[in-house]
Amino acid sequence: MRIQFKTSYDHDIRLFPDRHSLLVYGALIVLALALPLLINEFYIGEVTNVLIWAIAGLGLMLLTGQTGQASLGHAAFLAIGCYANTILIEQGVPFVLAFPLAGVLTGVVGAIIAIPALRLHGIYLAIATIALSILADDIIVLLEPWTGGVSGKFPDVIRLFGIEIERWTMPVRFYYLVLGVTVISTLFYRNLLRSPLGRAFAAVRDSEVSATAMGVHIARTKATAFGLSCMITGWAGALMGYYAGAFNNETFSLVISITLLMMIVIGGLGSIHGAFFGAVVVAFLPQGLSILKDSVLGSGVAIPGLETGVFGMILILFILFEPMGLYGRWLKIRIWFELFPFARKDMFRRQKSYLKTERLR
């Protein structure tokens, strides 16, 4: 059993709670760096996919998990990041500048969109963002001179400090690029949580009334959360564009938005681990299912819609039995071991609660 003795308030906001976790995450980074030596190029591509989904998940997690605003329109921001990056590079901006700029641009657009959306709570926000997701598809077609419309676009080979990076011919280099962005995004997220702004996010999520009473400017905090969330999502979008190799108006559809939201729920809302766990599920579920289907029914039997159906069922089970997601399950197992003889089953029982109307806010 490991006990953290906190002797000062600064201990609450340390980057790593103790030396043990520093060691664990350090080992994880070393493993990630050494991965291309351990597995072949096909699997490196798959891992890259997981990482890109994880970045997108981090983006949405910041908004939904941390600030409590469910968005069903994040595919639109993925699209903005992707198109902004590609168009900037076409204009001759080097990748080193274009890529961060694409994220910032997405963030600015997100914050601007958030200003009218700030008046909306929970369900209304979700619906407004659905509309956004649907609009994005049509707007991309309407802006054909820039976006290529239905015929789509192909991202150029990345040139980073004279090194060429391409997803198909050099998957290992692309992997390292994505890994770098992942680490930066994760550190950014983690550091944000340690800052006053991050705590303001949590306060807004838990109770807007108490947050106001504590001097948090609700509207500004929500808009900032939207902007920062969209920035990370924009980066993920740009990387998704490179990973796909070609994209058009249908690449970033409402389904992607929904998948993204479901992903962070399966992973565990409000935790960085959750984004990664969820990404692993989303990226490997299709393969896993097809392998399972082939072994049960024999290959060649096609069941349309099986993937989404199973995905939906998994999700329902998670919300019913494990609302904290995979991360919650992992936490429970860990705590069981840490407390070994003293762990009790009802420690995590959900409290009884009653709903009060949200109409009168």
Partner 1 sequence: MDGVQLLVSGLANGCVYGLIALGFVLIYKATEAVNFAQGDFMMLGAFVTLGLTNAEYLDLPFWVAAPLSIAIMAGLGYLLDLLILRHLFGQNQTAVVILTIALGFVIRFFAGAIWGHEPQTLESPLALGDVQLAGVVLGLADIAVIVVTVLLTWSLYQFFQRTKLGLAMQAASQNQMAAYFMGIPVRRVQGLIWGLSGATAAVAGILFASKGAIDPNAGLLGIKAFAAAVIGGFGSLPGALAGGLIVGVIEPFAARYLAAGYSQIAPYVLLLAVLVFRPHGLFSQVRTKKV
Residues that bind partner 1 (CB under 8 A): 64, 68, 70, 116-117, 119-120, 122-124, 126-128, 130-132, 134-135, 138-139, 141-142, 254, 258, 261-262, 265, 303-306, 308-313, 315-316, 319-320, 323, 352-361
CA 102 – CA 232 distance, rounded (Å) = 10
Please identify which residue in the block is written with the tokens 């597995």: 39
Sequence-ordered list of residues with C-beta below 8 angstroms from that of 227, at least 6 positions apart, any chain = 107, 108, 110, 111, 114
To partner 1, the closest distance from the beta carbon of 112 in angstroms equals 13
Q: At what angle do helices 122-142 and 95-117 cross, to 10 degrees?
A: 130
Nearer Cβ to partner 1, position 184 or 306? 306
Q: Evaluate whether 119 touches 248 at the Cβ level (below 8 Å).
A: no
Contact 160, 179 (CB under 8 A): no
> Which of 46/322 has CB closer to partner 1?
322
Question: Residue 200 Cβ, how far from partner 1 at the closest point, in Å?
Answer: 20
Provide the minimum distance between the beta carbon of 4 and partner 1 in the complex, in angstroms, as a whole number: 30
Nearer to partner 1, 214 or 313 (CB): 313
Amino acid at site 73: G
Nearer to partner 1 (CB atom), residue 91 or residue 353: 353
Give the nearer residue to partner 1 in terms of CB position, either 156 or 358.
358
Minimum CB separation of residue 34 from partner 1 in Å reads 37
Q: Within 13 Å and on the Cβ side, how many CA atoms surround 282?
A: 29
**What sign has the CA pseudo-torsion 95, 99, 104, 107?**
positive
Question: Which CB sits closer to partner 1, 35 or 258?
Answer: 258
Q: How far is the CB of 102 from partner 1 (least distance, A)?
A: 24
Minimum distance, C-beta of residue 270 to partner 1, in the bound complex (Å): 11
Q: Taking the complex as a whole, how short is the minimal distance between the CB of residue 287 and partner 1, in angstroms?
A: 19
SS3 label, residue 292: helix
Tell me whether residue 33 or residue 303 sits nearer to partner 1 (CB atom): 303
Token pair listed for 252? 């970033």
Distance CA 266, CA 287 (A): 18
Closest to partner 1 by CB, 245 vs 323, is: 323
Residue 275 is encoded by which pair of tokens?
């984004």
Nearest alpha-carbon partner for 57 in 325, 308, 330:
325
What CA–CA distance (Å, rounded) separates 256 from 78? 9
From the list 225, 217, 139, 152, the residue with the least C-alpha distance to 189 is: 225
Extended beta strands in 100-220, E state: 158-160, 163-165
- In whole angstroms, the minimum distance from the beta carbon of 292 to partner 1 comes to 16
CB–CB of 54/243 below 8 Å?
no
Q: Which is nearer to partner 1, 104 or 285 (CB)?
A: 285
Q: Can you tell me the distance from the alpha carbon of 88 to that of 94, in angstroms, rounded to the nearest whole number?
A: 8
- In the complex, what is the shortest distance from the CB of residue 206 to partner 1, in angstroms, rounded to a whole number? 11
